Amino acid sequence: MNVLEVDQLKIWDGLTGRLLVPNSSFSVRQGERLAIVGESGSGKSLTCRAIMRLNRAALRQSGRIVLNGVNLSELPEKEMRKRRGKQLCMIMQNGMRAFDPSRPVGAHLHETLAVHYPWSRSEMTDQVKRAMEGVGLKDPLAVMSRYPHELSGGMLQRVMIALAIVLAPDVIIADEPTTALDAISQYEVVEQFVQLRSRLGSSMIFVSHDLGVVKRIADEVLVMKDGEIVERGTTKNIFAAPLHPYTRYLVSSKLALNRHFKQMMGGNGVAEG
């Protein structure tokens, strides 16, 4: 069963008329992990923000975005706000931008949960504490008392994942969540995303240009180029037998980078793509 359906999504600049995403249609099944891949400017993030209705005001969009049978495109903003977080949760590329820099992280978490649950402050703290411990954050109460700039990028990503665990949304959208992290933090955060499915059973849209991460996380892959979907298939088929020339280019580039990295590190074989 499809939990999310995007039908004939069109995104354009209302000031210049420039077409950014001409006509995209795809669906996400219950519990599925769909990766959207492509180079910078391919329309990946625009598409995800369009689903959340969070693109900047100058950008216009049309088409149908249906979540559990409800057309989000027709909802007034007040109703849409109720669905952000509880039904649709977005984990952003830069954790620092997701939090108010003038307030401790815990204040943001409590405020978000208060919109969706009739919990007392102590209940919220207890739920967040358990979720933070579950994603490997030590001393959650201390983390909640800190300001965003006092936490590393990897820690902020884990805080956002912990919030998603508490909210238990139908769909989690992760927009390049490992891009700003060092290699060790990337690995740790990716493993948390892998574990999210067993914890929640939520569907996930994972946006990335890192095909190694995509291969680890995704069931299916959707390839975008210049705002258009050029290929979709299972992760296995996309990596083993890509059909579109652009997909073949992306996959071959990934293999070449892996070979170069392994040679630099003293290896003599071909790393898995």
User: Using one digit for the tens of pLDDT, what is the confidence trace for 109-166?
Assistant: 999 999 999 999 999 999 999 999 999 899 999 999 999 999 998 899 999 999 999 9
Tokens of 238: 């996309």
Mean pLDDT within 79-88: 93
Alpha carbon distance 37, 43 (integer Å): 9
Residue 98 pLDDT > 70, yes or no? yes
What proportion of the chain, given as a percentage, has pLDDT over 90?
72
What mean pLDDT, rounded, does the chain reach?
Answer: 90
Q: What is the pLDDT of residues 199-214, one digit of tens each?
A: 888 999 999 888 888 9
Mean pLDDT within 244-257: 84
pLDDT at 187: 86
pLDDT at 196: 84
Half-sphere exposure of 152 (CA within 13 A, CB side): 11
What proportion of the chain, given as a percentage, has pLDDT over 70?
93
Residue 25 pLDDT > 60, yes or no? yes
pLDDT at 32: 96
Q: Binning pLDDT at 50, 70 and 90, where does residue 272 land?
A: very low
For CA atoms 86, 91, 97, 100, give the dihedral sign. Answer: positive
Q: Let me know: does 59 contact 65? Beta carbons within 8 Å.
A: no
Cβ–Cβ contacts within 10 Å for residue 4, how many? 24
Q: Binning pLDDT at 50, 70 and 90, where does residue 266 land?
A: low
Mean pLDDT within 17-46: 95
pLDDT at 253: 82
Residue 194 pLDDT > 70, yes or no? yes
Q: What is the pLDDT of residues 171-180, one digit of tens each?
A: 999 998 887 7
**Lowest mean per-residue pLDDT among 6-15, 97-106, 230-239:** 97-106
Q: Binning pLDDT at 50, 70 and 90, where does residue 269 land?
A: very low
Mean pLDDT within 91-106: 88
Q: Binning pLDDT at 50, 70 and 90, where does residue 261 land?
A: very low
Residue 249 pLDDT > 70, yes or no? yes
Q: Let me know: does 80 contact 72? Beta carbons within 8 Å.
A: yes
Q: Which domains does the chain have, with CATH numbers?
A: 2-264 (3.40.50.300)
Residue 68 pLDDT > 70, yes or no? yes
pLDDT at 188: 86
pLDDT at 264: 52
Q: Which helix (H) or strand (E) holds 271?
A: none
Cβ–Cβ contacts within 10 Å for residue 235, how many? 19
